[in-house]
Amino acid sequence: MASTPQTLFDKIWQRHEVSAESAATPAVLYIDLHLVHEVTSPQAFTVLRERGLSVRRPELTLATMDHSTPTATAQVFGGAPIAVDAAARQVRELEENCRHFGVELLGLTHQQRGIVHVIGPELGLTQPGKTIVCGDSHTSTHGALGALAFGIGTTEVTHVLATQCLLQRKPRTLALNVSGRLAAGVTAKDLILAIIGRLGVAGGNGHVIEYRGETIAALDMEERMTVCNMSIEAGARAGMIAPDETTFAYLAGRPRAPAGEDWERSLVRWRELPSDRGARFDRELDIEAAAVEPMITYGTNPGMVIPIGGHIPQRPGDAAFARALEYMGLAAGEAIKEQPVDVVFIGSCTNGRLSDLRTAASVLRGRRIARGLTMLVVPGSQQVKRAAEAEGLDRVFLEAGAEWRESGCSMCIGMNGDVAGRGQYSISTSNRNFEGRQGPGVRTLLASPLTAAASAVRGRVTDPRELCATA
Amino acid sequence: MEPFITLTSRTVVLPAANIDTDQIIPARFLTTTTRSGLGERLFADWRYDEHGAPRAGFVLNQSAAAGCRILVAGRNFGCGSSREHAPWALIGYGFRAVISTGIADIFRNNALKNGLLPVIVEDAIAAWLMAHPGAVVTIDVSHGTLALPDGTTASFPLEPFARHCLLEGVDELGFLLAQSADIEAFERRA
Ligand code: SF4
């Protein structure tokens, strides 16, 4: 049996089975890293209190705050009260819960605070072969380092806090083979948007995706995170990429990565993780990278996506489609390019890392954003913020007329005070264009940092390849 | 949790596909630290206008919706975020079951853990239910079946352990806590 070729997913799953699944019961799966944030944890800690339970492995648990926290410097560091009352309560409750249960917290003013999916890899806590969960669907991000990482609900947060385990049925596997090279001006964000367009928003349901092939191997670590991040937008619980030299180089020397002899031993284990030759996936799908163009969404789910030079499709008789376009104030058959925009948001766990900020800054350097447009640049973590400032990126953004904020989820999710206005068009580098996601009535267009920055300059949906060509 | 054995109720129909959890409960209501009180916010942006007044055209604001405990929805219900506030809001409103041709993974898990039954049916059954809002249907958890008013029955998939928990009114946490010997053994091996 030992010779049966296994996938990356199979190997990690098998090594974490406390007990395997049977017809009557799911598997008991052991969790190596549990990330906790302020929005999906309060009710879980309440259950621990009600049942008189403790946190089984506090040292495998790390809390931070990101979703409801403000990004205005005065509210984070200046002693000004958090503008949203309920958010302030949530922040206090997480502080109290972490104190009470002995969980480490990277709190509001901590130098290493940030969006939970940005700081895990950044600290070196996210490692190949680990099982990682968080009460957040974009936990799939961590799969970029060859971990099995998925989002859970609050009841499951309670389970992991109390037992370090989850009851899980084994998902199916989907190999997504990407070949060829991405063209200039086409980013990892465009690739994953194109993949979601192909799969559909439910195409990955019940599956864990392994992104494979030469295109994926050529991506750097942050690009891989962008890809895995949006796996959930295709319905998949997790996305993974085999660990390789890129992964190891990224992790080496990070504060919580293994060091010394431990590092050497880890490398040996990590090198055994990639899927074996001949390993069987439940499904396979091939994508040609060279055919991918800069992508942009036009509707109210991430599957409603087209190449930036394309036209909004026509689907007569589809009431949901018509409703989505009505919400967006767009018409079937019309071009998306040149659509005026009001707000540009650069940030989120999808595109809030240093390389994303560099990309956006490369477009904005020496330029100004269009008159009347609001642009928010929100680093994914405080470490990203400092690194960007060390390179002078903050000045590029400020001189262009954008706002430069403290880290957090910000305008990715309208619950922290950062929202756009009803009816406004927002080009956003985040991951969800659902109705109201960036505030009631806001019309979100998802795109890459390159497209978002180019559109900020012109105040209209702009193909970044054209802006750069005319520069 | 109370045991969930059978449920008979009229239905409410929301035909849209891909109803995401941001529609079920918009993010700005997630600043709560409890599970209660979310029923009033269910589908908030569809149910109320920008001044907080009920939108007359929305199905939950119509008198026929009162007392309905079964929601029939378009395919891929509950996609998007992992917020358990979505099933809490549906339960808070009074729903005990959601019927669709497809229900997103995380939502389905979260729903089951709170005694909200996800019922996945074939296209033909869904089409009939969509065409007959307010129909009285009966869901039988132990047999995993759904009965329409004309006597037609359809089976739906239900993970055996989840079924056991629903029928007995127990939750998974008790089961997991009882595995502590195995968990300790695993930790020693690891
Ligand atoms: S940035 Fe957006 S998607 Fe990412 S964790 Fe925050 S709210 Fe969720």
**Pocket flag, ligand 1, residue A346 (CB < 6 Å):** no
Please judge whether A436 and B177 are an interchain contact, meaning their C-beta atoms are less than 8 angstroms apart.
Answer: no
B51 touches chain A (CB under 8 A): no
From atom 2 of ligand 1, which residue's Cα is the shortest distance away? A412
Listed by number, the residues of chain B in 123-182 with a beta carbon closer than 8 Å to a beta carbon of chain A are 159-161, 164, 171-173, 175-177, 179-180, 182
- Considering only CB atoms, which chain B residues are within 8 Å of A269? none
pLDDT at residue B58, rounded to an integer: 97
- The mean per-residue pLDDT over the stretch B22-46 comes to 95
The burial class, CB within 10 Å (0-12 / 13-18 / 19+), for A470 is: exposed
Q: How far does B104 lie from chain A, in Å, by closest CA?
A: 7
Beta-carbon neighbour count of residue A90 at 10 Å?
Answer: 26
Q: Under DSSP, is residue B175 helix (H, G, I), strand (E, B) or coil? A: helix
Divide the 471 residues of chain A into consecutive groups of 10 and give the mean pLDDT of each group.
86 98 97 97 97 98 96 92 90 97 97 98 98 98 98 98 98 98 97 97 96 98 98 96 98 98 98 97 97 98 98 94 97 97 98 98 97 98 98 98 98 94 98 97 98 98 86 49
Pick B22's closest partner by Cβ from A89, A154, A436. Answer: A436
Checking if the pLDDT of B1 tops 90, the result is no
Beta-carbon neighbour count of residue B105 at 10 Å?
Answer: 23
**Pocket flag, ligand 1, residue A136 (CB < 6 Å):** yes
Nearest to A368 by CA among A241, A456, A269, A467: A456
A102: its two tokens: 């002995």
Q: Under DSSP, is residue B155 helix (H, G, I), strand (E, B) or coil? A: strand
Say if pTM beats, i.e. exceeds, 0.95: yes
- Rounded distance, CA A192 to CA A187, Å? 9
Listed by number, the residues of chain B in 72-111 with a beta carbon closer than 8 Å to a beta carbon of chain A are 74-76, 79-84, 102, 104-106, 109-110
- Rounded distance, CA A419 to CA A343, Å? 10
Rounded to whole angstroms, what are the CA distances from B183 to A53, A373, B186?
16, 55, 5
- Considering only CB atoms, which chain A residues are within 8 Å of B160? 23-25
Which ligand 1 atom is at minimum distance from the Cα of A380? Answer: 1
pLDDT, averaged across chain A: 97
Contact present, B29 and B41 (Cβ < 8 Å): yes
**Pocket flag, ligand 1, residue A11 (CB < 6 Å):** no
Closest residue in A to B162 (Cα) is: A25
Beta strands in A158-304 (DSSP E): 165-168, 172-179, 207-212, 238-240, 283-288, 295-297
